[in-house]
Structure 1
Amino acid sequence: MDSKRVLAENLRQNIYDLGKTQAAYAKDIGIPLNTLEYAVSGRGSVSLNTLDKIAQGAGLDPWELIRPPEDK
């Protein structure tokens, strides 16, 4: 599984676990909704700065967002 798809899957799971909408999640972590949607789609790459913002806002380490579920 490539990193983009792993990131997308982990983001979707984190959003679900928190019981939030993507819009609320994006607002809470301080990134534009379209950036989050791009990452959640699994089609695009995000910058390391954006990955750091997402991780910090989610209360995770950045590596946790790109670690495949089977490795957890």
Structure 2
Amino acid sequence: MDSKQALAENLGQNIYELNMTQVQYAKEIGIPINTLEYAISAKGSVSLNTLDKIAQGAGIDPWELIRPPEDK
């Protein structure tokens, strides 16, 4: 599993665990919804700044977002 796919799965899981919609989550962490949707799609890469923002908003370290779920 590559880091884009891991990010997508980890984001989806985090949003699910927080019982939020993608719109609520994006607003909460301070990124545009289209950026979040792009990251969840695993079709492209997000910048390190965006990864940091997502991690900070989720209350976790950035590396945890790109760590494959089966390695946790």
**TM-score normalised by L of structure 1:** 0.98
Q: Deviation string for 1:8-54 (max 9, x for gaps)?
A: 00000000000000000000000000000000011110000000000
Task: Give the aligned partner of residue 32 of structure 2.
Answer: 32
Moved over 6 A (4+): none
CA distance in 2, matches of 1:44, 1:32: 15
Matched with 1:51 is 51
1:45-67 deviation line (CA, Å, top 9, x unaligned): 00000000000000010000000
Q: Which runs of 5+ in 1 are unaligned?
A: none
Residue equivalent to 1:13: 13
Please give the root-mean-square deviation of Cα atoms over the aligned residues, in Å: 0.4
What count of residue pairs does the alignment treat as equivalent? 72
